[in-house]
Amino acid sequence: MKNYLFILILCLSLPGHAQEYSAIKGFVKGAKLKEVTLYKTVDGSIQACATSRIGADGSFGFLLKPETGFYSIGGERLNFPVYLKGGEQVNIDLLETRAQLNGKNSKENKTLYSWVDYAANIRLKAVFFELTRSNYEDFFPEFETYVKGLEQLKSKLRSGNKAFDVILSDYVDYATDYYAIIFLHTPREKHPEKSMRPEYYSHIVSARKYTDDKVLQFPEGIKMLISYTSFAYNEDGKKYDVESYTDDCLSYLGNDRLKGEYVVNNSFRSFKSYDQYLNAMEKFGKYLVTPSLKMRAEAVGTKLYDTKAGGQAADFTYPDVDGKMVSLSDFKGKVVLVDVWATWCGPCRQQIPYLKKLEEEMHGTDVVFVGVSVDESKDKQKWLDFIKTEGLKGVQLLAGGWSKITKDYKITGIPRFMVFDKKGNIVSVDAPRPSSPELKKMLENELKK
């Protein structure tokens, strides 16, 4: 019995994208899979968005409303591209080392697989080295034959969808470079001298490549990006220097977003300390030009951050009541009391009279009172009204939910009071509440230092 599962939740489209269902179904024939996974391309990498059990007869299936673009299907290590825009059927079988279209399919996927089939052996030998015993003696001749027929093949890759045909042509070019490079970067029984390489290798590095972020539309986009910079670095014959390596690799990329993707996906993964993270953010933060890049970079910092007393404070930046962006680091030279709260929090409200009294008592001193509300951004007016009604003083910021500050400081409950010294270091990230005399004593002690 066929077992076509219908996945309707994890791959749903965003407003403005395709609203028709796409159906993907087929059979597993020889592939060693316990289940079939559908992956969505996000920022040049694949992310699992649905899985299908495999029926007794080998059948599997998905039904979804996709965002237009490339998806992949198969297992985590070995998977195959499909193109979805909504409204199409994809009939695809998964074999031991390749995929095969069968039955009704969209023109885009038929065109895509004209190339995927043509490149199947090259991709298998270059990328999935553990499945073959290939070395340069058999790969290079086959690769040269592949390249020789590529332009003729590309001239026939016409689906009738002009936007798709353009991106497919780019995909073919980027993938061909990737297959050539990754073959050299993967384990082999024999490795060639540079002089043994086909002529194609001498033309891979070019200032015309990686000048925009279209490569991030491809499932292997990040792998293509990182392997290209490594290859270009080696081709230039540079002697490895840990201090300059990242800068040198970034010089081969002509687009800030790509530079951001490189540092987040490559450099940031090697950090062992929060100081390394801070140094990298200071140097490369300008390349974090998308919300996704910023979020992924901050996640690295959050994982490395230690909230122990005496350590450097994790900075945060949020808008105040006038929309001005204010950071914790703006107050270096002052003792800072941070109150993490929300308008809907009963215990937070109970502390307000004590907090206002403490502010009055410490008026004229070098203590800055900062309120950070975790109310959602949609509740901004409610937050503003609450501040006015309660007569809250100090610096009031809106975090827009449980965002960076709660992740960095491991805050799972509010109110939370935190004290930072004049140098921007942690005194306590779980300080006494204003209702306790101990908080005032803590602030006064810091003022004396």
Query: What number is the average pLDDT over the span 292-301?
Result: 95
Confidence of residue 18 (pLDDT cuts 50, 70, 90): low
Q: Quote the percentage of the chain above a pLDDT of 90.
A: 90
Q: Mean per-residue pLDDT for 151-166?
A: 97
Range scoring the smallest mean pLDDT among 168-172, 213-217, 278-282: 278-282
5 has pLDDT over 50: no
**Dist. CA 438–CA 449, nearest whole Å:** 17
Is 11's pLDDT higher than 80?
no
- 106-134 pLDDT, tens digit per residue, is 999 999 999 999 999 999 999 999 999 89
Tokens 């306790």, located at residue: 436
- pLDDT band at 8, cuts 50/70/90? very low
Residues 6+ apart with CB under 8 A from 88: 22, 23, 105, 106, 108, 109
Residue 243 is predicted with a pLDDT of: 85
Q: Hey, what domains does the chain have and what are their CATH numbers?
A: 22-203 (no CATH), 214-304 (no CATH), 313-448 (3.40.30.10)
Are 258 and 215 a contacting pair, CB within 8 Å? yes
Q: Does the pLDDT of residue 17 top 90, yes or no?
A: no
Bridge partner residues of 80 (DSSP): 73
Helix H, strand E, coil C: the string for the chain is CCCCCCCCCCCCCCCCCCCCCEEEEEEECCCCCCEEEEEEEECCEEEEEEEEECCCCCEEEEEECCCCEEEEEECCCCEEEEEECCCCEEEEEECCCCEEEEEEECHHHHHHHHHHHHHHHHHHHHHCHHHCCCCHHHHHHHHHHHHHCHHHHHHCCCCCCHHHHHHHHHHHHHHHHHHHHHHHHCCCCCCCCHHHCCHHHHHCCCCCCCCCCHHHHCCCHHHHHHHHHHHHHHHCCCCCCCCCHHHHHHCCCCCHHHHHHHHHHHHHHHCCCHHHHHHHHHHHHHHCCCHHHHHHHHHHHHHHCCCCCCCECCCCEEEECCCCEEEHHHHCCCEEEEEEECCCCHHHHHHHHHHHHHHHHCCCCCEEEEEEECCCHHHHHHHHHHHHHHCCCCEEEECCCCCHHHHHCCCCCCCEEEEECCCCEEEECCCCCCCCHHHHHHHHHHHHC
Which residues lie closer than 8 Å to 141 by C-beta, 6 or more apart?
A: none
**Is residue 205 scored above 70 in pLDDT?**
yes
Q: What is the pLDDT of residue 240?
A: 84
pLDDT, tens digit (0-9, with 9 covering 90-100), for 350-361: 999 999 999 999
For residue 449, name the pLDDT band (cuts at 50, 70, 90). confident
pLDDT band at 3 (very low <50, low <70, confident <90, very high): very low
Q: How far apart are CA 3 and CA 58, in angstroms?
A: 8
